Structure 1
Amino acid sequence: MPETILPQGAGYGIILGFGALFALGMWYLATLLARFQNEVQGSEMFMTAKRSVKTGLVASAVVSSWTIAATLLTSSTWCYEYGVSGAYFYGAGATVQIFVFAVAAMELKRRAPGAHTFLELARIRYGKAGHVVFIVYSTIYAIINCVNILVGGSAVFTALTGMNVIAGVWLLPVGVVIYTLTGGIKATILTDYSHTVVIYAMVLAGLFIVYTRSDVLGSPDIVYDRLRAAAKIAPVPGNAGGEYLTMHSQDGVLLGVVFWCAVFGTTIDVQLFQKAITADPSATLPGYMIGGLSWFSIPFCLATTFGLAARAMQGLPEMHTITSRDISQGLALPYAAQALMGTGGAVFVLLMIFMACTAGFSADIVSVAAVFTYDVYGAYINPTASGGKLLKMSHLAVVIWSVLSIATTSNIIPLIIGNGVSLILGALYSIICTFAFGADDFDWNRLKTEIHVADDSDVKGLTSEQIAQEKSHELLTPEQDRDLRQGKVKAMIIATVLCLVFVIIWPMPMYGTKYVFSRGFFKFWVALTFLWAFGAAFTITIMPLVEGRRTIKLFFTSMIFGKKPKESGALEGVFVEGGEDSEHRSSGQEEKDARMEERAVARAAFAFTIDNMGEVADLDRNLWPESQPIGSHYSVKEVLPQFLALLKKYDVPATYFIESWNLTVYPDAIKQIASSGIEVAWHAWRHEAWSKLDEGAERDNFTRSFDAMSDLATGEGKGLVDHYRGFRAPGGIIHGDRTLKLCRDHGLTYISPSAEQGAVVSLDGGKDSIAVLPFKWRTVDAYYYMDAFSGLRKMKGELPEKSQGSDVLVRKYIEEIDKVIETGGYLSTLFHPFLTNTPERLQAMEEVMKHLARRREEGDVHFWKTGGIGDSVIHHDLGLGHESAGIIIKTGSNVKRLKVGDRVALECGIPCSKPTCEACRTGRYNACPDIIFYSSPPVHGTLRRYHVHPEAWLHPLPDSISYEEGALLEPLSVALAGIERSGLRLGDPLVICGAGPIGLVSLLAAHAAGAAPIVITDLDQNRLAMAKSLVPRVRTVQIQRDADAKANAELIKGALGQEAKLVIECTGVESSIHTGIYASRFGGSVFVIGVGKDFQQIPFMHVSFREIDLRFQFRYKETYPKAIMLVSEGLIDLKPLVTHRFTLEQGREAFEAASNPAAKAVKVQLLDD
């Protein structure tokens, strides 16, 4: 037989080849994750994997962390020397610590959720001196562990291949350092998983070969017979009858005790705590328990297979004779594998050793790097280090530690005494010191308030939402805290039971009775080994894939189809063709009038929203005093009434996102909110951090919240909240399609996530769709007021890190509001009552409300409320345009009146014209319930190059009227319909409220009708100047923003010289309607043409006592012919109204001009020459 089983090339090939494979693989995977899943390696990701690792990967990480070369080799050697007891006591001696450690892991997650290392706790709990002691001991332990890994692993490669042992020590870490630098702790965990898959494959392969398929052994009976024969040839001293098939083994038990005591030294092993830190809180207990039970199968099953096989095959020609030197080098496993499986078996063992060494070393260098980064550099060298600097220090520590580990390269009773004393004295010292110096009254909340998530705002590629998500890990939700408290109790119970089972209940009866396995019992033992190995392998291999199936699917789908994560973008419209009978080329126009008479689309849409009710925010942060009763929060008792008063004062529609928990805590307050006309929307059950909810928890949150709402809707709280329509997730982060599906299933119509998550304004498709109305952090008061947002402020680079005053909030909010008004789009402003806790902050919110109210009165803003505007709800992309004129280019077979080449104006309201329709039959077709009006949802508008239109609703244009004037016949028809219905007569004094497009065409029509005198009002002096240029005799009044309706009415009456007989109101704004009413004479009329919000208040008794008629106009009927006549005869000149002209290809510029107050646009037209 050759001196070594394998050639040197095999050793170098495995170390260099697989090292390069993992290094390149992890680098490529990190690149793909960054590209397709926005996963950027900041310091938090590098060291903690965002504290989100699930149960399966936690369990596989535990298995891999606990599996080093000694696990594979020593356990098999013990089994070879002492029989079945060696395999069992090796596994049991190191398994119970995992169960005990689970308790520590649960407490770590609960006490310090933002921790990066467990030594951070030591620094706060024991001070600098205690911190340094922990660092020194942990470092020494890590040195010993890494030296054992590298030297032990290299020695095995040397023994099996003859490669240079020093070369092995240097080469083993190379690939590890590269993939660890690339992927951090997540790379370690992912490689942990791949390593455990290989190791379990070897365990299962060995079981099948030894006990079912081998030509040398092949059945439990043959193994049993050969082990009984081996006991006669080489009996085991201290074993019952010298047998290998007995649990009564003095040396086996003593070695188990040594191992049991020694492994408790891992309580200062930073890498084990590091794995606990990466775990999601809900995954900690099951992850460690499953991991412990699964790890036991490796030494137990592997040694029971190859250790017993090596002993059973001694003396056979296929088996290498094992010497005492071979035993000391742990070569029983590879020799047995080679004898049973040939050269491939030896290679497989080398691969397992490589996997075990690299996984253990990677875990150690990441953990030591974390200690160096956060406990040395971050604590004592640069306490204010940014996330980017911490990440660089982490990378440096990885390299330094790998070099340091390379450079630093018994009798049983003394071992028992040494380890036992070390274990027991630690507990005794703690008890003695406590009684001697008294218990330390330590405030455990300091671990939450003094350990913070690193600020990664200077790390390239991280979004503000990712940083905010990282920050959310600093605090536990009440549910998480409760679960971890309960989990600790469960862990203590489970750990105690399992320790008793593994240490006493299972082995001791067989030890005490000196039982020697019978043939039947040995078969049972082998069957148990198979079952345990299969269960562990299946759990560790399949569970991570099942838990991560959606992420895996999303990743591969994105990679295959090239879809990158969504980024914020502008809302875009889709213009489509449709219609019948005739087709023409059109020139359409987009009105400057932001009221948009048909309420189809708002260029600038705003939502005033409120988040959080009562003490849920304090409960969420564990800050609510236990002595204070629930249901007494100042924000509800004191702040909320002021909110409601201000909303009413400025007539601002609002949505309050409340937590369903409050339905029973604050029912009266919620009734008050709902009765004030404020929409009550949903904000989770009790403000759970939505990003942390797994699929089951998210579904349960929906069920619990909507059940509570349903109970109230049918019980005493009927009418409180009939049904939520909107949802905003706490933290703003949702789980994509999973959350949207739950929203649809529960009847929600819109959702308001964070724009920083990549959410885009969406009104997409159909009756079951969910509108997406995102918010931005720049219009969230917490962004300015709370210290927790310092990292986000720094990352955006627009504000100092420290919290800001209310003056900054007002300035920034107004900037954002005006920006949206100028450029178009949607904006949500967000306030929290619990943060509006000073007069200054309340005043700041009032300034924002006041500004919104002003801009609305200027006609620039529509409020978006619950997924629709007024009664018109948009469910899809909508083409705009209902003011058009063009030329006929093709006619249908039934067209009789018009021909190709005719110039026409389009009347865009198409009634049903059925004899059964009363409105159509009586000539009031504008009231037809089945009317189709272009650009009114769901009908697309006429702003397109080609359009099909019914002949009956096309009006021929004389040569004296241009296409531009033809398009303006539509708003002129609105004005003519209003003047006709108002009964205006020659010489009647008239007031027109609003100098927007409708007000200006009403002015032209009233001037032609002979009204005198005429007063027109507006907030904007530029519009009044336009009115004066159109009709020089008109008298103008600029409305004062801060004056009430009565004061402005006095200005109007003064300009008119009398009280108004007729007021034509063209804005639809409540305050403007009030002004018109107060300006009217006894018996006068106020005629409202403008479109306003659904519900408005009026000075009812004033209207009643003065017998003022309040009337309204909806669109028009049969006015186009009259409008054409007035324009063609020169009585009304519409041309000056067109201030801006663009081609169809310049559509975006046209909309920007129409939406920008600085452009001073009245009518913006799109022309197609």
Structure 2
Amino acid sequence: MTEFILNQGFGYGIALGLGAAFALLMMATTYTAKKFLGQKQDSERFTTASRSVKQGLISSCVVSSWTWPGTLLTSSQWAYQYGVVGSYWYAAMGSFQVLLFTLVAIEIKKRCPGIHTIAEVARVRFGRGGHLVYLSYCLGTNVIVSCMLLLGGSQGFSFSTGMHIVAACFLLPMGVCVYTLFGGLQATFLSDWTHTVIIYVIILVCLTTVYGTSDLIGSPGKMYDLLTEIAKESPSSAANGSYLTFDNRAMIFTAWNLLMGGASTVFGDPSYSQKAIAASAKDVMFGYITGGLCWQIIPWGLGTCTGLAALALTNNPASYTYPNALTVEEAEKGLPLVYGMAAIFGKSGAASAVVMIFMSVTSAMSAELISCSSILTYDFYRSYVNPKASGKQLVTASHISVIGFSIFMGGLAVVFNYIGVTIGWILNFIGIALGPVLGALLGMLFYPKMTKYAMWFGPTMATLTGVACWLGSCHHFYGELNKDNLAGNYPSAIGNFVSVFSSPLYIFLISLIKPQSFDLATLNEQFEAGDDAEETELERMKVKEEDLDQLNKSLIQTRIFLIIHASIFVFILPLSLYGSGYIFSKRFFTAWVVITIIWEYLAAMWIIIWPLYESRVTLRYVIMKLLGKEVDHHYYGAGEVKEISTSDQSFATPSVAEAKNEHHVNVITDSDHDM
């Protein structure tokens, strides 16, 4: 269709209005933290949030970073095209990648809690050459992921509102750039929580309405009947044409490509390791695991709701494309999300879909901005330009990097838009080009015999091998190399597999020639804080004995959990449904929907409530200060009284010590006021 479901004014209003509102909100939050909690924006806080973020906020940040526009648009698109299997596979494969990264996050806290970026480990272990190779993969992933975010967001705005795509590419990251500049990583975390809460609320309203109160559907049974009916007129690509089955071979290959692409988008993206660096040691495991589980239900629930609703209502006048189904082009643009919500809620539903797209692109983009600025500041500026940079100079370099990267990514997204590159194409390609970073990351953290030559040549050879197999298999299956054929399931699956799995093989074989004997226990001794770091920040850069015991237990628990999760969600459940060719009965589909809704509500409650509960001491303190009330002489937090006298300042942070009065000072320790 040529008409847009919303007008341009709405698109510009969201991009500018909401962007400005969130920028002001985060700036106000940063100011409040500085005024009432004594938090100064030094180089450590800007980059690492003082390494004290608790599990609730880590969970919401993991969810936010992995909730891209593509998560919302593609899960709904796959549900529309393939049925129940589409959104399930997107959720299962995406969540497994994040959950697997938990092992890396724990190892970071165990071996090198003092790092500012994951690439610093490569510099210490392999010197300049290995460092530059690893940096190229990190920045390559940073750029491609950011480009996918802006591509998905700008295209979603343009296709829904008619907003000019160039304007969307530059306006969407503008507000993000502003509050990231003022608040650093901590502002990013707070923004992530706010954005994620809004996305969960919209999804819950959609699920409740579609399967509970809507006059158009209103129950799982009615949805089942509508999907069964539409399959007779327009069958799916499944073996039996049903939208209520897992028996779809094309979906298996698509899911595999998503899993392999995630080897780069998660393990190569420095923003995920940035969260591990920022987390407190005792919270890192639960933060990542609960974050992965809470994220899993977002694409699953949203696709089960909006994608299936758009499909089921094809023959209903409420459908925006009535009496026609969406064209292939419209489906590939992710419009099932917008049209499905519009069919249920009218224009307000389409508007809510655009708001979700805005929330996803800005929250994930903020993480990319801060991780890229950290890489450019610590791995380029401090490593090779100004090794003796002061804390103030590091903050300035970070600010310049944030601004420069925002402008660069806006321009690159415009270029990709005009040459016709889609999110789906990039998802297929990124694992082939950058997937070998998985082997490099695991090697430098877990394999003490890995050599600098293995870092130099292993990932590079894996990329070249993967590209060669990708091109060769494309020519074999399709007889011609072009953009569309290269995005085919078979060439993409082969190229991704070879790139990802040849990397650790090359690294292992090259390391056998002259193995290194690196003591991983000494790794953390090589990292330095900025000269403006506070005493508590310096303490958190050290590996503590009690933390080691906890982290070793966490590694074992995580491995057990990963085996159970993968067994259920990646192998047993989907493959048994695929192999049997089972078509959901109405009772089975109803149970499927009920489980989805319950899981969505539990995830939303965790993400919304738990970070607030963990920070209740800080919130109470700040609210009382804002209201102009005196804080109690004895201030309670975490089960113990926080009080010191002016004669003993040893437990106070410098900012608290400055706030002393004649008799006593009430202290909220860093563990309380850092979120």
For Structure 1 versus Structure 2, the TM-score category normalised by the shorter chain is 0.7 to 0.9
- 2:602: which partner in 1? 535
Match of residue 343, structure 1, among 334, 343, 347: 347
Give, in whole Å, the separation in 2 of the partners of 1:315 and 1:433.
60
Q: CA deviation at 1:562?
A: 6.1
Q: CA deviation at 1:754?
A: 4.5
**Per-residue displacement from partner, 1:354-392 (whole Å, max 9, x unpaired)?**
010011111101000000011110111111111111001
The secondary structure found in structure 1 opposite 2:520 is coil
Give, in whole Å, the separation in 2 of the partners of 1:356 and 1:208.
21
- 1:447: which partner in 2? 523
- 1:868: which partner in 2? none
Q: CA deviation at 1:327?
A: 1.1
Q: Is the 8 A contact 1:60 1:193 kept in 2?
A: yes
Alignment CA distance shift 1:44-1:513 (3 Å):
same
**Per-residue displacement from partner, 1:993-1048 (whole Å, max 9, x unpaired)?**
xxxxxxxxxxxxxxxxxxxxxxxxxxxxxxxxxxxxxxxxxxxxxxxxxxxxxxxx
Which deviates the most, 60-69 or 424-433? 424-433
Query: 1:456 and 2:456 equivalent?
Result: no
Q: Is the 8 A contact 2:617 2:636 kept in 1?
A: no
In the TM superposition, 1:939-950 aligns within 5 A as none
Give, in whole Å, the separation in 2 of the partners of 1:754 and 1:420.
53
Q: CA deviation at 1:141?
A: 1.3
**Per-residue displacement from partner, 1:919-938 (whole Å, max 9, x unpaired)?**
xxxxxxxxxxxxxxxxxxxx
- 1:758: which partner in 2? 657
Q: Is the 8 A contact 2:150 2:361 kept in 1?
A: yes
- Which has more radius of gyration? 1
Give, in whole Å, the separation in 2 of the partners of 1:492 and 1:739.
30
Alignment CA distance shift 1:773-1:215 (3 Å):
closer
Give, in whole Å, the separation in 1 of the partners of 2:77 and 2:642.
59
Q: Structure 1: which 5+ residue stretches go unaligned? A: 458-466, 567-734, 765-770, 775-1169
Q: Is the 8 A contact 1:212 1:219 kept in 2?
A: yes
Give, in whole Å, the separation in 2 of the partners of 1:169 and 1:738.
45
In the TM superposition, 1:1058-1077 aligns within 5 A as none
Q: Is the 8 A contact 1:36 1:565 kept in 2?
A: no
Which deviates the most, 752-761 or 343-352? 752-761
Give, in whole Å, the separation in 2 of the partners of 1:752 and 1:127.
42
Match of residue 365, structure 2, among 361, 364, 381: 361
Alignment CA distance shift 1:158-1:472 (3 Å):
same
Q: Residue type matched to 2:650 in 1?
A: P
- 2:378: which partner in 1? 374
Give, in whole Å, the separation in 1 of the partners of 2:597 and 2:539.
44
Q: Residue type matched to 1:758 in 2?
A: A
Alignment CA distance shift 1:355-1:741 (3 Å):
closer
The secondary structure found in structure 1 opposite 2:240 is helix
Give, in whole Å, the separation in 1 of the partners of 2:80 and 2:661.
68
Give, in whole Å, the separation in 1 of the partners of 2:659 and 2:357.
50
Query: 1:224 and 2:121 equivalent?
Result: no
Q: Is the 8 A contact 1:453 1:471 kept in 2?
A: yes
Give, in whole Å, the separation in 1 of the partners of 2:564 and 2:522.
33
Q: CA deviation at 1:39?
A: 1.2
Give, in whole Å, the separation in 2 of the partners of 1:338 and 1:202.
13
Query: 1:165 and 2:165 equivalent?
Result: yes
Q: CA deviation at 1:431?
A: 2.3
Give, in whole Å, the separation in 1 of the partners of 2:133 and 2:403.
24
**Per-residue displacement from partner, 1:382-414 (whole Å, max 9, x unpaired)?**
111111110010000000101111122321111
Query: 1:205 and 2:104 equivalent?
Result: no
TM-score, structure 1 normalization: 0.49
Q: Is the 8 A contact 2:63 2:295 kept in 1?
A: yes
- 2:591: which partner in 1? 524
Q: Residue type matched to 1:98 in 2?
A: V
- 1:405: which partner in 2? 409
The secondary structure found in structure 2 opposite 1:512 is helix
Q: Structure 2: which 5+ residue stretches go unaligned? A: 414-486, 668-675
The secondary structure found in structure 1 opposite 2:267 is helix
- 1:333: which partner in 2? 337
Identical aligned pairs, as a percentage? Answer: 38
Give, in whole Å, the separation in 2 of the partners of 1:740 and 1:319.
55
Q: Is the 8 A contact 1:753 1:759 kept in 2?
A: no
- 2:393: which partner in 1? 389
Alignment CA distance shift 1:758-1:430 (3 Å):
same
Higher RCO (CA-CA < 8 Å; seq separation 6+): 2
The secondary structure found in structure 2 opposite 1:281 is coil
Q: Is the 8 A contact 1:6 1:346 kept in 2?
A: yes
Query: 1:415 and 2:492 equivalent?
Result: yes
Give, in whole Å, the separation in 1 of the partners of 2:394 and 2:580.
59
Q: Residue type matched to 2:582 in 1?
A: Y
Q: Residue type matched to 1:559 in 2?
A: L
State the number of aligned residues: 585
Give, in whole Å, the separation in 2 of the partners of 1:358 and 1:284.
24
Q: CA deviation at 1:29?
A: 1.4
Q: Is the 8 A contact 2:93 2:259 kept in 1?
A: yes
Q: Is the 8 A contact 2:635 2:666 kept in 1?
A: no
- 1:651: which partner in 2? none
Give, in whole Å, the separation in 2 of the partners of 1:208 and 1:188.
30
**Per-residue displacement from partner, 1:1127-1167 (whole Å, max 9, x unpaired)?**
xxxxxxxxxxxxxxxxxxxxxxxxxxxxxxxxxxxxxxxxx
TM-score, structure 2 normalization: 0.83
Alignment CA distance shift 1:553-1:446 (3 Å):
same
Alignment CA distance shift 1:510-1:760 (3 Å):
closer
Q: CA deviation at 1:741?
A: 4.5
Alignment CA distance shift 1:240-1:287 (3 Å):
same
The secondary structure found in structure 2 opposite 1:561 is coil
- 1:278: which partner in 2? 278
Give, in whole Å, the separation in 1 of the partners of 2:666 and 2:168.
58
- 1:902: which partner in 2? none
The secondary structure found in structure 2 opposite 1:108 is helix
Alignment CA distance shift 1:400-1:157 (3 Å):
same
The secondary structure found in structure 2 opposite 1:367 is helix
Aligned-residue CA RMSD (Å): 2.3
Alignment CA distance shift 1:441-1:39 (3 Å):
same
- 2:244: which partner in 1? 245
Q: Is the 8 A contact 2:524 2:543 kept in 1?
A: no
Give, in whole Å, the separation in 2 of the partners of 1:359 and 1:759.
35
Q: Residue type matched to 1:388 in 2?
A: K
Match of residue 509, structure 1, among 576, 598, 607: 576
Give, in whole Å, the separation in 1 of the partners of 2:617 and 2:639.
15
Alignment CA distance shift 1:501-1:772 (3 Å):
same
Alignment CA distance shift 1:39-1:772 (3 Å):
closer
- 1:268: which partner in 2? 268
Q: CA deviation at 1:320?
A: 2.4
Give, in whole Å, the separation in 1 of the partners of 2:301 and 2:382.
44
- 1:16: which partner in 2? 16
Query: 1:307 and 2:292 equivalent?
Result: no
Q: CA deviation at 1:115?
A: 0.8
The secondary structure found in structure 2 opposite 1:507 is helix
The secondary structure found in structure 2 opposite 1:246 is coil
Give, in whole Å, the separation in 1 of the partners of 2:659 and 2:185.
32
Q: Is the 8 A contact 2:59 2:607 kept in 1?
A: yes
Q: Residue type matched to 1:533 in 2?
A: E
**Greater helix share, structure number:** 2
Give, in whole Å, the separation in 2 of the partners of 1:84 and 1:312.
12
The secondary structure found in structure 2 opposite 1:163 is coil
Query: 1:548 and 2:615 equivalent?
Result: yes
Q: CA deviation at 1:476?
A: 2.5
The secondary structure found in structure 2 opposite 1:268 is coil
Give, in whole Å, the separation in 1 of the partners of 2:187 and 2:314.
42
Q: CA deviation at 1:186?
A: 0.9
Q: Is the 8 A contact 2:649 2:657 kept in 1?
A: no
Q: CA deviation at 1:342?
A: 0.6
Q: Is the 8 A contact 1:762 1:773 kept in 2?
A: no
Q: CA deviation at 1:539?
A: 0.6
Give, in whole Å, the separation in 2 of the partners of 1:739 and 1:327.
51
Alignment CA distance shift 1:193-1:741 (3 Å):
closer
Q: CA deviation at 1:742?
A: 5.3
- 1:1055: which partner in 2? none
Give, in whole Å, the separation in 2 of the partners of 1:155 and 1:389.
37
Give, in whole Å, the separation in 2 of the partners of 1:759 and 1:451.
29
